[in-house]
Amino acid sequence: MTDALTRLLIIAPPPSEPRRKDWGAVERTLGVRLPADYKELVHVYGGSNWDDYLYVLEPGCPNENYDLIAWAENQAEDLEGLWVFEKKPAELEPDGAHVVPWATTDNGECLYWLVRPGLEPDEWTVMVNEARGDRWEHFSVSCTRFLASCLDGELRSAILASSFPRAAHEFRRLGGV
């Protein structure tokens, strides 16, 4: 168990039933391996909502609006179209660099893994893109550390809502709609 996941367990006790995934099938569908900390996060918490704002995506999420695979397909397509009109962030300029979404917010911001050639999934870091603009932020941490650090106040994003995190944390596992 990662240190960041241990911090999350203190912030919000997990549901009693873990979510089981065929990660091999998920990764074949996505065409990339995923970070171990993310797999552990989804196993423990599933697709989830944190402080009524941030949604962690889950492959095969019971709430299809937060399905990791659908988001990855849609975002890849949307971003390719976006680069025609907006400048790519510097982190995405090197050949082969791209992003894969792992979370979103109720305002429409998207949180991504920054995938760079030569880096293993456990070395991927986090990028945040504002909902209706061209601002991007880069954080040199894993997705689980990003979430735990935001929730406990260690890390702040200028893009995410100023009301996040809440003083009294709320956690909700996503179910079917």
DSSP per position, 104-147: EETT--EEEEEE-TT--GGG-EEEEE-TTSS-EEEESS-HHHHH
The reported pLDDT for the residue numbered 141 is 97
Specify the amino acid at residue 115.
V
Q: What b/e string do you get for 123-161 counting C-beta neighbours within 10 Å, with b at 16 or more?
A: ebbbbbbbeeeeebbebebbbbbbbbbbbeeebebebbe
Greatest mean pLDDT range, 75-84, 89-98, 137-146: 137-146
Q: Kindly indicate the confidence band of residue 76, based on its pLDDT and cuts at 50, 70 and 90.
A: confident
User: pTM score, two decimals?
Assistant: 0.95
pLDDT, tens digit, for every residue of 86-103? 888 999 889 999 999 999
At CA 97, angle to CA 151 and CA 113, rounded to 5? 15
Q: What is the largest CA-CA distance in the chain?
A: 46
The reported pLDDT for the residue numbered 132 is 82
Q: Kindly indicate the confidence band of residue 22, based on its pLDDT and cuts at 50, 70 and 90.
A: very high
Half-sphere exposure of 167 (CA within 13 A, CB side): 0
Q: Kindly indicate the confidence band of residue 157, based on its pLDDT and cuts at 50, 70 and 90.
A: very high
Answer whether residue 9 shows pLDDT above 90. Answer: yes
Answer whether residue 79 shows pLDDT above 80. Answer: no
The reported pLDDT for the residue numbered 112 is 96
At CA 66, angle to CA 63 and CA 67, rounded to 5? 90
Torsion, CA 100, CA 75, CA 81, CA 115, rounded to 10: 0
Q: Which residue has the higher pLDDT, 176 or 1?
A: 176
Closest CA to 44 of 5, 11, 10, 7: 5
Half-sphere exposure of 91 (CA within 13 A, CB side): 19
Structure tokens at 104: 């979103």
